[in-house]
Amino acid sequence: MPQIHASNSVWPRLEPLLADVRKPARYVGGEDNIVVKDHASTDARWLLIYPDAYEIGQPNQGIQILYEILNERARTVAERAFAPWPDMEQLMREHDIPLFSLENHLPLRSFDAVGFSLAAEVGYTNLLNCLDLGGLALRAEDRADDDPLVIIGGHAAFNPEPLAPFVDVAVAGDGEEFVLELDALIADARTRGTWSRSALLAQVAEIDGAYVPAFYAPRYTADGRLAGTFPRRSGVPYRVPKRTVSDLDRWPYPRKQLVPLTETVHERYAVEIFRGCTRGCRFCQAGMITRPVRERSKDTVKAMVAEGVANTGLSEVGLLSLSSADHSEILGLCGELADTYEGTATSLSLPSTRVDAFNVELADELTRNGRRTGLTFAPEAGTERMRRVINKMVTEADMLRTAETAFANGWRHIKLYFMIGLPTERDEDVLGIAELGLKVLAIGREYGRKNKVTVSVGGFVPKPHTPFQWCAQDRPEELQRKLGLIKARVASDRNLNLRYHDPEPGLMEGLLARGDRRVADVVEAAFRSGARFDGWDEHYDHDRWLRACEQAGVDVDWFCHRERGEDEVMAWDHIDSGLERDWLWSDLRDAVREKPLDDCRWIPCYDCGVCPGLDLAHQTNHDGAPRRTHLPLYAGQS
């Protein structure tokens, strides 16, 4: 059983080292709204880890929400840890300091459950580093029976196979109800004094949504394809369903959001105004795996904002979701919040990249007295043909009209997001990105000589549980060539700012996203040869990853650049996101035929499979008003 002693705190040994590391505030805790409990009076102890630097991980909503709901239980404690920056890692290894929590500065091994939140694949080597620094064997099978449980959640858990050997449990979907059910099992085992990881896992596997990789084994065909991932014992499901919280108003978290002492990427009180998205963008994994749409009511959001601001002293409020302008009561919500905070120093923000006048109207509302600098839109592709393929239904006329409205209303800088490397893409689609950017800039010029346009271009990475899961990913060389086309076209214009990323990390992201259990050896080899912080340009080393692939005998080409057949078994087929495979395939066929599909919030259900499986329907429109009266979805589009 994991041992507990307050005297286990690493603080006395850590404190003298803090003078020698960059940004020591990353390691001290002490934030406003931190919960520090005495472990002696608890039955279940969780360590929640976001495997990236503190300033990236601290604002993470998933960690924040689970931290609160676990700590609300009197006999449960949840603490947090983040990946130490390499300077700190080196000192920790020199001084034999294990990975520690920020609340009581206790070593990882003093916890019963270690839960990682994985928003993206780039955290995988940091996850291994956290386990290693915590004194755990990397592979679950090599760990002792009294070691803590290692759990992963977050979007990346929808294909847990590349991490399968390292974790005990993976859960896809919403974590709120799941952690409480798991917490009850842990507390029970602890109070009975019979902590055994193997015995506990048998019970955990019975929780809805729990995937225990040790209870499943992949089988491969003679030519190296996956034949399937099959249960190794009776009583575990063939396909593990994702978890879905049906009524967000019953889970009004965060209430007492942790406020960092030092700068982080988002310093705002953040409230999710809804989860899920059914716009049906075919490249978007987040939209596909979080269906259906579940809104928070306007009143709940307003109450959360009032309480959240009072509890934190934060001056910015973020109304988050995958496409916040789509909330059925958004105009009223923004207007009422803007009324409440008008004339105060509290500002509101709404991440929404929808290309229409309504989005501009909302942005105007939220900046009544404020500065109108940058507005962001995501047409995602350069031509209407390409946009029909990815189901991002924006006409060029929409884009230009929207830009016109924005510049006319005083916005000075428009940012446009695009992807290259999309299925069926031709050079004219790529060039269309540059053309569209230049056209928007030409409109901007009419409203001000100094108005600017930023064109941001990313390489497309096919993701599991999307219609594009069968598609080949472009090679980095090909993406470079396509970037070159755009660069050449826009080079001369100083007011058009082109931003792009090096395409090489995207290749590894693709491998980790669609890899099977064999790819775990790559992750381990990369970690052992020093890979850390792969999401950071200054740390990412492509050659190291290629060597790791070679060492593990994994053919990147085969995993990433090969088009897969309709019947090919995917590494994530046993994780049930609710989406029918047949529907995903037919949506891919529609994509290739350049056939768009409207949002099932405003057209009849087209049976993607999610709602009946969950016994749920969209939860929108709390005020009972007719649907979508304020604006057509796509201005100028039938």
Partner 1 sequence: MRVRARYAKDGRLRFISAIDLGRVWERALRKAELPIAYSEGFTPHPKVSFPDALALGYASTGEYVELTFAAPVDVASAVARFNAASPPGLRILEAVEVVDGAPRIARWLRASLWELRYPTQHAGVLDGGVRALAHAEHLPVDRERKGTSTRLDLKPALHMIASHEDAVRVILHHTEPPFRPTEVHQSLCTTGGLTALEQPRLVIRVAQGSAEPSGLCEALTGQPLPVRPHDHTAATS
Can you give the binding site for ligand SF4, defined by CB under 6 A? 278, 291-292, 600, 605-611
Q: By C-beta, is 119 or 600 nearer to ligand SF4?
A: 600
| Closer CB to partner 1, 55 or 524, in the complex | 55
Q: Does 154 bind partner 1 (CB under 8 A)?
A: no
> Which sign, positive or negative, has the C-alpha torsion 627, 628, 629, 632?
negative
32 binds, among ligand SF4, partner 1, none (CB under 5 to 8 A by kind): partner 1
Q: DSSP labels for 433-465?
A: HHHHHHHHHHHHHHH-TT-EEEEEEEE----TT
Q: Which is nearer to partner 1, 33 or 203 (CB)?
A: 33
User: In angstroms, what is the minimal distance from the CB of 582 to ligand SF4?
Assistant: 13
Judged by beta carbon distances under 5 to 8 A according to partner kind, the member of partner 1, ligand SF4, none in contact with residue 610 is ligand SF4
Q: Quickly tell me which residue has 């449980």 as its tokens.
A: 149
* Apex 426 CA angle, 422 and 431, nearest 5: 95
In contact, 421 and 474? CB cutoff 8 Å: yes
Query: Residue 24 CB, nearest distance to partner 1 (Å)?
Result: 4
Place of tokens 């969780």: 46
Minimum gap (Å) between residue 166 Cβ and ligand SF4: 33
The amino acid present at 12, given as its one-letter code, is P
Minimum distance from residue 634 beta carbon to partner 1 (Å): 33
Tokens of 133: 């620094």
Site for partner 1 in 306-345 (CB under 8 A): 310-315, 345
Closer residue to partner 1 (CB): 374 or 613: 374
For the chain, give the longest Cα–Cα distance.
74
Q: Quick one: what does residue 38 bind among ligand SF4, partner 1, none, with the CB cut-off 5 to 8 Å set by partner type?
A: none
- Among the listed ranges 22-30, 165-173, 202-210, 324-332, the one in contact with partner 1 (CB under 8 A) is 22-30
Binding mask 338-377 for partner 1 (x = CB under 8 A): -------x-----------------------xxx------
User: Residue 190 corresponds to which tokens in the numbers above?
Assistant: 């602890």
Measured CA to CA, the distance from residue 346 to residue 498 in angstroms comes to 32
Of partner 1, ligand SF4, none, which one does residue 607 interact with (CB within 5 to 8 Å by kind)? Answer: ligand SF4
Instruction: Out of 72, 87, 263, 342, point to the residue binding partner 1 (CB under 8 A).
Output: 263
Return the residue nearest ligand SF4 (CB atom).
600
What is the Cβ-side half-sphere exposure of residue 159, based on CA atoms within 13 angstroms?
29
In the DSSP assignment, the letter for residue 619 is B
Three-state secondary structure along 385-436?
Answer: HHHHHHCCCCCHHHHHHHHHHHHHCCCCEEEEEEEECCCCCCHHHHHHHHHH
Q: How far is the CB of 253 from ligand SF4 (least distance, A)?
A: 25
Member of 16, 484, 530, 612 binding partner 1 (CB under 8 A): 16
Cα–Cα dist 374/451, whole Å: 10
Enumerate residues 6+ apart whose C-beta is below 8 A from 151. Answer: 113, 114, 115, 116, 167, 168, 169, 170, 171, 182
Residue closer to partner 1 (CB basis): 103 or 573: 103
Q: Give me the least distance between CB of 173 and ligand SF4, in Å please.
A: 14
CB atoms within 10 A of CB 30: 11
Smallest distance from ligand SF4 to CB 281, Å: 14
Size of the site for partner 1 (CB under 8 A): 26
- Residues lying near partner 1 in the complex (CB under 8 A) are found at 16, 18-19, 24-25, 27-32, 259, 261-263, 267, 310-315, 345, 369-371
